[in-house]
Amino acid sequence: MSKVQNTTSTRLTLDLWHPGCWAIEATEEVGGGVLAHAIYRSPKSDGPSPVSVNGLFTAYGDDDEEVDRLLEEIGNSENAGDVLDLQQRFGRERDAPGNVVREFFLEYNPDDMVCPTLLEHGLVHSAPVRIEGGRETWQVCFTGERSNLEDALDGVRQDANAEVTVESIHTAEWNGDSERHHRLDTLTESQREAFEHARTSGYYEWPREVSTRDLADGLDVSKTTFLEHLRKAEAKLLDPEEETTYQR
């Protein structure tokens, strides 16, 4: 009987930009973000090289208006086909940040994808790709020797005409993402900014080193707005099993 053994791998978080990506273009123009889940070959395509693929994505944002603007911007991109806003849920809502999330299908040209280039150079993505502010965040494992990693990254930069920055890197036993990382990834950009600002400013020290008014002034927002973002962040971080209501 064979035994399943833990293996070590080089795991990285990549900040990435590449040309021709509708999600990068859309999130550069408007707020909100996109999670890329899975790619399917279009049933209309023939032969080994499909002319189009279908992708399952999640659009997310702080409110309905922000998600509406994002989906409209995506639909207007010359690099994207029709946006099919899904009524049926596929159980991915809890994987996405944002107060409002909507899943959608989109058909687009596979030549605009950077994933095949990453795979060609031994970088295998291990989580949904997150696109915000005109940048993509990739969680990947490198299948080669760590000494060859820089050459692999240079290969991606050259072949995809991409900008690639390593945000984090470590070699460890593969046991999935940490619980803390998963919880932080559920925060919106505003919630994450409020929480990190409070944490680094001594808000959670005893005695407390800063007031919520000072924290709000530091981010140039009202105290009410700051507290709304902070309380929602705390609720997600402290009680991740609590059900969140997503509006449509």
DSSP conformation letters of 167-228: EEEEEEE-----HHHHHHTTS-HHHHHHHHHHHHTTTTSSS--S-HHHHHHHTTS-HHHHHH
Out of 11-20, 98-107, 168-177, 238-247, the most confident range is 11-20
Last residue of a domain, one of 140, 171, 202: 171
Domain range spanning residue 187?
A: 179-238
Looking at the structure, do residues 199 and 227 belong to the same domain, yes or no?
yes
Give the per-residue pLDDT at 91. 45
Looking at the structure, do residues 123 and 192 belong to the same domain, yes or no?
no
Looking at the structure, do residues 157 and 79 belong to the same domain, yes or no?
yes
Looking at the structure, do residues 154 and 221 belong to the same domain, yes or no?
no
Looking at the structure, do residues 133 and 190 belong to the same domain, yes or no?
no
Residues near 206 by beta carbon (within 8 Å), at least 6 away in sequence: none
Residue 110 forms part of a structural domain: yes
**Residue pointed to by tokens 């993402």:** 177
pLDDT band with cut points at 50, 70 and 90 for residue 50? low
Looking at the structure, do residues 134 and 19 belong to the same domain, yes or no?
yes
Looking at the structure, do residues 161 and 219 belong to the same domain, yes or no?
no
pLDDT tops 60 at residue 223: yes
Looking at the structure, do residues 88 and 200 belong to the same domain, yes or no?
no
Residue 246 forms part of a structural domain: no
Q: What pairs with residue 13 in β-bridges? A: 139, 168
Looking at the structure, do residues 106 and 147 belong to the same domain, yes or no?
yes
CATH number at residue 199: 1.10.10
pLDDT tops 60 at residue 5: no
Last residue of a domain, one of 171, 202, 225: 171
User: 30 burial class (0-12, 13-18, 19+ CB within 10 angstroms)?
Assistant: middle
pLDDT tops 50 at residue 243: no
pLDDT tops 80 at residue 181: no
Q: Which of 240, 10, 7 is nearest to 144 (CA)?
A: 10
Residue of 231 and 217 predicted with greater confidence: 217
Give the per-residue pLDDT at 8. 58
Considering the chain, what percentage of its residues have pLDDT values greater than 70? 75
Average pLDDT over residues 17-25: 94
Pairing of strands 100-108, 123-125: unpaired
Task: Measure the CA–CA gap between 209 and 220, rounded to whole angstroms.
Answer: 19
Residue 189 CB neighbours (<10 A)? 17
Structure-block tokens of residue 174: 């593969």
Buried b (16+ CB within 10 A) or exposed e, 136-150: bbbbbebeeeeeebe
Looking at the structure, do residues 162 and 183 belong to the same domain, yes or no?
no
pLDDT tops 80 at residue 49: no
Looking at the structure, do residues 128 and 203 belong to the same domain, yes or no?
no
Residue 151 forms part of a structural domain: yes
User: 37 burial class (0-12, 13-18, 19+ CB within 10 angstroms)?
Assistant: middle
Q: What pairs with residue 107 in β-bridges? A: 54
Last residue of a domain, one of 127, 150, 171: 171
Domains in the chain, number: 2
Looking at the structure, do residues 147 and 216 belong to the same domain, yes or no?
no
Structure-block tokens of residue 201: 């400013």
Residue 2 forms part of a structural domain: no
